[in-house]
Amino acid sequence: MTVSPMLLRLASERATGALLRDRGTLYLVEGQVVHAESPTAPGIDVMLSATGRLRADGWTQAIREAGADGAVGRYLVESGLVSGGELEICHLGALFDAAFFALSPSSGPTRFRYGVAHWIGPVRPVPAEAVERETLRRRALLDRLWAHPETDTAPVVPSPRTARLRTAPRQRAVLDLADGVRTPADIARALGRPAFHTLLDVRRLAAAGLVETPRQAAPAPTPPPDVARLMAMSADPDVALLRRLRDALEATL
């Protein structure tokens, strides 16, 4: 299988620029993937902040001082805000996480803008073939765990049996935020975790019957006009009115 023939072709051409897809963007330098972004995946700023090593004002400072030069990564290390190892680990995690979603199946157009660079600058390039292999591996892992992808994008809630069972702390943190409003991507962002890892937790929980997607209540049927008129006549109907309501209901059957 091939995730993106266009990505592999650009890699063979040693192209530099941005590969734009419906669910994210991959940045290439001489055919290697140097960064990836997706609205579904928390960015590298969230990943760094989650470790407690980088405060929000430190990230803002780095963008202000080095963003225009495309050297934010280098600035973070040279200014002592993060170590080189910390930056590299967080960057690779964010890259593979965002690339997984950016390379997901899509019916939209795929475009490549030559020469476009990302402001993070060079950190650790990754061969396009490695990004492809890891994306395929992650897809297969999700399918093995729970082959129902609707849990990836829908809000989830704990099932009634969850309260009676003990879960690992990592999964408990996910359950605590599963409120029927947050999607797995929202939960990942709130926890400062990679979105793919949160999908793994959600699918494991779904396979164990511990989370489910909330079912919307069916709308109440609209009563026939005669019945609606009778119902509107009084909020506290008498016996005669109830009889007329019964007769009207029977007449509609």
Q: Specify which residues 32 forms β-bridges with.
A: 29, 127
Neighbours of 60 (CB within 10 A): 12
Helix (H, G, I), strand (E, B), or coil: what is residue 60?
helix
The pLDDT assigned to 231 comes to 42
Q: Which two tokens stand for residue 5?
A: 């023939």
Amino acid letter, 70: G
Helix (H, G, I), strand (E, B), or coil: what is residue 72?
helix
The pLDDT assigned to 106 comes to 80
pLDDT 10s digits, 89-116: 999 999 999 999 999 988 788 999 999 9
Phi, psi (rounded to 5 degrees) for 232 = -80, -10
Domain residue extents for the chain? 5-144, 149-212
Conformational region of residue 220, where left means phi above 0, alpha means psi within -120 to 50, and beta covers everything else: beta
Alpha helix locations (H) across 79-238? 84-102, 128-145, 169-177, 184-191, 195-207, 225-233
> Which residues lie closer than 8 Å to 26 by C-beta, 6 or more apart?
7, 18, 19, 33, 35, 36, 99, 102, 103, 131
pLDDT 10s digits, 176-230: 999 999 999 999 999 999 999 999 999 999 998 899 887 643 444 455 555 445 4
The pLDDT assigned to 253 comes to 45
The pLDDT assigned to 224 comes to 53
pLDDT 10s digits, 30-67: 999 999 999 999 999 998 888 787 888 899 999 999 99
The position carrying tokens 């960057």 is 91
Mean pLDDT across the chain: 86
Cα 187 from Cα 237, distance rounded (Å): 49
- C-alpha distances out from residue 95 to 2, 34, 76, 223, 252, Å: 19, 8, 17, 55, 62
Neighbours of 26 (CB within 10 A): 28
The position carrying tokens 């019964």 is 246
The pLDDT assigned to 225 comes to 54
Cα 185 from Cα 191, distance rounded (Å): 10
Q: How confident is the model at residue 29 (pLDDT cuts 50, 70, 90)?
A: very high
pLDDT 10s digits, 244-253: 545 554 554 4
